[in-house]
Copies of this chain bind each other. A is one copy, B any other.
């Protein structure tokens, strides 16, 4: 039985993790961390009756669990993960906000302690596989464009996942424009440009979060598409991370790197 400490158990992502772990017979949440508690009763949060609830890092003993799952807030995540590693926990981190420097530092610390773990900005398996496959396909199909579709309230364009996909593709192909001479009668029609890769962002009500990568070659096309319909989609990736975390020999960044 692998014991799990869940930091951020009262939040919406934390509650999804609670449900997930209940369905995994070899895992159990034995401890939870939350800065503010409405109740001291673990059952109020769907946790096992014997789970210990903590409201600060200092209260947490070194053997409360084997794995530390972190879905908290950017302001806490660095301290949390440092504390986890120093006390022998293997971290699985879905909280965003770590700088590149902090990631390096934590990776170094994990090495010293001989602990594996995972920091992942995106735990949606369909998004992670899309990025992985897109990078691989770009070696054979250098001509590629990205279309992402999101709900009308999304404020930034293109989405972080679309941009991350473009970066992965750019690593494996020579920068070039596919149709450099196309002229736009409506400015922006050809989309945004990242090193010659065009990105198009659609914003419409009804849509949730969707991404397509379109590859074209002589006489053929390859398209990879992912659809996220709701937040529960992130749990498939957390599940994979939990199943693999005990075998990881270092602290990885990116779910795709442990697949």
Contact = CB atoms under 8 A, between A and B. Distances in A.
Interface string A151-163: 0111111100001
Interface in A171-215: 178-179, 181-194, 198-208, 214-215
Contacts of A193: 186, 188
B145 A202 contact: yes
A147 B204 CA distance: 13
A10 interface: no
A129 interface: yes
A104 B225 CA distance: 37
Interface stretch (A61-69, A73-81, A134-142): A134-142
Contacts of A136: 129, 133, 259
A205 B157 contact: no
A2 interface: no
B157 A190 contact: yes
B186 A199 contact: yes
Contact of A143 (B152, B225, B235): B152
Interface string A120-142: 00001111011001001100110
A133 B201 contact: no
A192 B187 contact: yes
Contacts of A230: 219
A224 B206 CA distance: 16
A145 B215 CA distance: 21
B226 A225 contact: no
Interface string A216-259: 11111111111111111101100010000000000000000001
Given A140-B259, A221-B126, A229-B229, A200 B202 contact: yes
A149 interface: yes
11 contacts: A126-B222, A140-B240, A154-B182, A185-B192, A198-B202, A204-B216, A205-B217, A206-B233, A217-B233, A218-B235, A224-B225
Given A125-B141, A223-B225, 7 more contacts: A127-B220, A140-B236, A152-B178, A157-B190, A219-B228, A220-B227, A220-B229
Interface of A: 124-127, 129-130, 133, 136-137, 140-141, 143-145, 147, 149, 152-158, 163, 178-179, 181-194, 198-208, 214-233, 235-236, 240, 259
